[in-house]
Amino acid sequence: MSYVSAHMALLKWVNFQLKSTGKDEINIDIDRILNKVNNAISQKYLAFPEFTTFLYAGWSQSVAVEGAIKVNECMLVDSESYELKHYSHGKHFVSYNKPRTYNVLCHTQDLDLVQLYKGTIFEPHHHVNIMLSDLAPEVAVFEWMTMMLKYIVDGMSAVDLELEDIPVHNRIRIPHGFKY
């Protein structure tokens, strides 16, 4: 929630700057965003208790990184995040024969890129979720975030895992309590 709120606050600040300098504002069509978010919530994603990789292009980077963190925290499965183009630099050789779930966060503008790398990364035994948005890239983050969170919910449900089932140790409960 804090990430989504921060992104919206940043968009509002950018729009204020654009408006005050006489430039065109970013179109934030709340009704269209809500429609896309509600549709994403109704989707069912392939979610297995296996190594998960979030691949991204463009604006979806921050959501992919957060998705990898959430898989670690909530599904208790190892996860990572890579730019789609960079994953093909050897990492795909490591995952060739191993079970993997890939979540590809991309925009309709990135479909040629996804097609280009699809044949070199994904194997028939891999599970692949294409999390595609056609919203303006600046606001597609809201749809990607919903898709990513719905994937986490589906994954936890698949293994019958509730948040209260996750063991939290006192020494890691507050990870940011460092003193310098």
Q: How confident is the model at residue 60 (pLDDT cuts 50, 70, 90)?
A: very high
pTM score over 0.75: yes
Question: For the domain that residue 138 is a member of, what is the CATH number?
Answer: 3.40.50
* Residue 141, Cβ density class (10 Å: 0-12 exposed, 13-18 middle, ≥19 buried): buried
Task: Give the Cβ contact number of residue 39 at 10 Å.
Answer: 12
Q: What average pLDDT does range 49-55 have in this prediction?
A: 92
**Does the residue 41 lie in any domain?**
yes
What is the structure's pLDDT at 121? 84
**Does the residue 152 lie in any domain?**
yes
What is the structure's pLDDT at 92? 61
Instruction: Please give the Cα distance from 20 to 33 (Å, whole number).
Output: 25
**Does the residue 141 lie in any domain?**
yes
pLDDT one-digit tens code per residue, 61-99: 999 999 999 999 888 899 999 999 888 776 666 666 778
Check whether 172 has a pLDDT greater than 60: no
What is the structure's pLDDT at 124? 85
